[in-house]
């Protein structure tokens, strides 16, 4: 849509000038909240416009937004419930709204900062410790249209915990704090990301694998020289399992909301599905290799020598249970966007990562030698009253029992996607890339969708002519294993 692109560029430039003029006009030390909101929305638009120059400009502007938020204490804003309920009427509601607006704006900034890490591989400026303000109020309270209805609702909700406290309750007590709405749930998903990144950063450091002792040791024998494979670190694996438990708790709550809405899936559901990709998939390595192959900076015949390929191969081979859980949620991302898209800025990235996850799994799975007795694989176990299903629909809702079966024994089942068939079949990798393009074409309000579509299209052209051979698989198994 070249006409729309031209309009977008013009409007972004108009907004940039307007923001600059308002900042120059402001003589006070505190930036008006509406100007902070305009700056944030401008950054989101530029980041996802598809222009590299606009993205770099947005990153510079976003640094100003972070500084402004810190100066205005938007993420440490405190407020007691008793402060807003009293005998007086009239301005109480307006004061609460003003306080809530500042709180929500601060947490929006925190959320966008976190998305930069998995959208663009940019290290976040903020952390969980910065979320000391009470979480945003429940949507029913926030959307109250009159003070009387607001007062009645307000007495029913407890004072919200901070994000910092809520994520601790979720991990340790295995429960959600009460009184928070969907925005709070999305923030908790991203707080789980932060915690896992902290754990990952710690265990990636060679000294973290060393047990302190007073004895003198050889550094070569005490500290691993090769890069740390995090799923192979027992303590990291426990943290990851705990993160999955936290996501399950959030997902159970989301399923209750879906049931009350007669099956309609709300936006939090997409964040929950995408979270399994961010936490369980080497998506950075997959994305890097895909872009390199699409742009032909890595020759297809040489892909098995790439470090990224070794990460993907090891993920499919040795982290197979989490890999199959991840591709179920990748399929669910496609299901959600096809039916319930709100055209949000994070949807193109979710579709892109989900598509690459399914492609990488299908492509790599076909290169791994499966040691299966053909006679055993072709006949059902006589001890079971019913034969197990031979396929699993990755992009359709299914019951938990079938999900667990696919996670445990999915290596003997076909993983099917609508319009693709078996993602591990001869044409599966190529078809899943084309299906991703088809979905992205419905999200072209964001310029970045065009960039993703171009990458997937080039990659599909490459895949259509080549596939890994069994000889390459044996070579890689010898190297990695």
Give the pTM: 0.89
Convert 294-309 into a string of H (helix), E (strand) and C (coil): HCCCCCHHHHHHCHHH
Q: Among positive and negative, which fits the CA dihedral 249, 253, 258, 260?
A: positive
User: Does 254 reside within a domain?
Assistant: no
Q: 425 lies in which domain range?
A: 267-369+390-481
Confidence of residue 480 (pLDDT cuts 50, 70, 90): very low
pLDDT at position 157: 86
* Most confident region among 340-349, 383-392, 411-420, 466-475 by mean pLDDT: 340-349
| CA 187-241-288 angle, 5° bins | 70
Q: Phi and psi at residue 265, in whole multiples of 5°? A: -90, 125
Quick check: 193 pLDDT over 70? yes
50 or 73, higher pLDDT: 50
131 close to 75: Cβ distance less than 8 angstroms: yes
400-411 pLDDT per residue, tens: 899 999 999 888
User: Does 435 reside within a domain?
Assistant: yes
Closest of 327, 323, 366, 349 to residue 463, by C-alpha: 366
pLDDT at position 360: 95
User: Does 474 reside within a domain?
Assistant: yes
258-299 pLDDT per residue, tens: 999 999 999 999 999 999 999 999 999 999 999 999 999 998
Closest of 236, 245, 229 to residue 198, by C-alpha: 236
Confidence of residue 28 (pLDDT cuts 50, 70, 90): low
Quick check: 82 pLDDT over 80? no
Least confident span in 31-35, 72-76, 122-126, 187-191: 72-76
pLDDT at position 77: 65
383 or 246, higher pLDDT: 246
Give the H or E element holding residue 398: none
Quick check: 11 pLDDT over 80? yes
User: Does 414 reside within a domain?
Assistant: yes
Please give the structure tokens belonging to residue 302. Answer: 């040489």
pLDDT at position 412: 83
Instruction: Give the mean pLDDT of the chain.
Output: 87
DSSP string computed for 285-345: HHHHHHHHHHTTSS-GGGGGGSHHHHHHHHHHHHSHHHHHHHHHHHHHHHHHHHHH----T
Quick check: 373 pLDDT over 60? no
Least confident span in 45-49, 129-133, 372-376, 446-450: 372-376
User: Does 71 reside within a domain?
Assistant: no
108 or 94, higher pLDDT: 108
User: Does 236 reside within a domain?
Assistant: no
pLDDT at position 214: 85
Confidence of residue 196 (pLDDT cuts 50, 70, 90): very high
Quick check: 471 pLDDT over 70? no
Length of the chain (residues): 481
Residues of the chain above pLDDT 70, percent:
88
376-387 pLDDT per residue, tens: 443 444 455 556
Q: Provide the H-helix boundaries in 48-91.
A: 52-71, 81-84
Q: Phi and psi at residue 81, in whole multiples of 5°? A: -60, -40
pLDDT at position 384: 52
330 close to 415: Cβ distance less than 8 angstroms: no
From CA 361, how far away is CA 327, in angstroms rounded? 8
User: Does 93 reside within a domain?
Assistant: no
DSSP string computed for 137-181: BPHHHHT--SHHHHHHHHTTSPPPPBHHHHHHIIIII--PPTTB-
347-365 and 448-463 helices, crossing angle to 10°: 10
From CA 21, how far away is CA 249, in angstroms rounded? 46
pLDDT at position 7: 80
Confidence of residue 222 (pLDDT cuts 50, 70, 90): confident
Quick check: 375 pLDDT over 80? no
Quick check: 227 pLDDT over 90? no
Please give the structure tokens belonging to residue 355. Answer: 């598509």
User: Does 150 reside within a domain?
Assistant: no
Task: Specify the residue for token string 């998903």.
Answer: 189
β-pairing, 391-393 vs 414-417, is parallel
Residues 6+ apart with CB under 8 A from 252: none
**Side by side, which strands form the sheet with 391-393?**
391-393, 414-417, 421-422
Domain count, the chain: 1
Burial class (CB in 10 A: 0-12, 13-18, 19+), 121: exposed
Q: Provide the H-helix boundaries in 341-447.
A: 347-365, 374-378, 400-409, 428-440
Closest of 161, 334, 142, 171 to residue 239, by C-alpha: 171
């Amino acid at each position: 849509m070249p006409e729309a692109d031209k309009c977008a560029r013009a409007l972004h430039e108009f907004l940039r000038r307007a923001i600059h003029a308002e900042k120059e006009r402001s003589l006070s030390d505190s930036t008006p909240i509406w100007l902070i909101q305009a700056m944030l929305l401008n950054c989101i638009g530029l980041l996802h416009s598809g222009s590299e120059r606009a993205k770099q400009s947005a990153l510079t502007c976003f640094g100003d937004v972070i500084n402004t938020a810190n100066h205005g204490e938007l993420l440490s804003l405190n407020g007691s419930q008793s402060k807003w309920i009293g005998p007086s009427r009239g301005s109480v509601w307006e004061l609460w709204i003003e306080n809530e607006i500042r709180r929500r704006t601060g947490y929006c900034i925190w959320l966008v900062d976190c998305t930069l890490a998995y959208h663009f591989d940019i290290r976040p400026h903020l952390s969980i410790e910065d979320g000391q303000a009470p979480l945003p109020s429940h949507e029913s309270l926030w959307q109250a249209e009159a003070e009387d209805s607001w007062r009645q609702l307000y007495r029913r909700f407890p004072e919200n915990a901070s994000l910092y406290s809520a994520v601790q309750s979720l991990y340790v007590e295995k429960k959600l704090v009460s009184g928070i709405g969907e925005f709070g749930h999305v923030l908790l998903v991203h707080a789980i990301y932060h915690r896992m990144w902290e754990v990952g950063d710690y265990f990636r450091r060679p000294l973290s694998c060393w047990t302190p002792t007073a004895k003198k040791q050889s550094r070569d024998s005490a500290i691993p020289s090769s890069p740390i494979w995090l799923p192979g670190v027992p303590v990291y694996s426990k943290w990851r399992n705990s993160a999955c438990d936290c996501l399950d708790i959030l997902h159970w709550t989301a399923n209750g909301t879906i049931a009350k809405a007669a099956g309609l899936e709300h936006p939090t559901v997409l964040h929950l599905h995408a979270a399994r990709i961010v936490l369980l998939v080497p998506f950075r390595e997959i994305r890097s290799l895909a872009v390199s192959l699409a742009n032909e900076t890595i020759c297809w015949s040489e892909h098995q020598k790439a470090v990224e390929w070794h990460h993907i191969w090891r993920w499919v081979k040795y982290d197979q249970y989490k890999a199959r859980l991840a591709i179920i949620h990748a399929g669910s991302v496609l299901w959600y966007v096809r039916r319930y898209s709100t055209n949000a800025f994070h949807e193109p990235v979710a579709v892109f990562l989900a598509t690459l996850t399914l492609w990488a799994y299908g492509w790599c799975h076909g290169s791994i030698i499966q040691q299966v007795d053909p006679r055993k694989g072709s006949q059902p176990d006589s001890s079971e009253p019913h034969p197990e299903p031979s396929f699993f629909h990755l992009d359709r809702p299914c019951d938990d029992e079938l999900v667990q079966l696919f996670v445990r024994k999915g290596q003997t089942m076909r993983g099917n996607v609508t319009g693709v068939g078996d993602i591990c079949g001869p044409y599966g990798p190529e078809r899943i890339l084309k299906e991703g393009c088809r979905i992205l074409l419905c999200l072209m309000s964001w310029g970045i969708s065009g960039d993703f579509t171009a990458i997937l299209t080039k990659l599909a052209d490459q895949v259509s002519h080549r596939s890994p051979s069994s000889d390459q698989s044996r070579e890689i198994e010898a190297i990695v294993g």
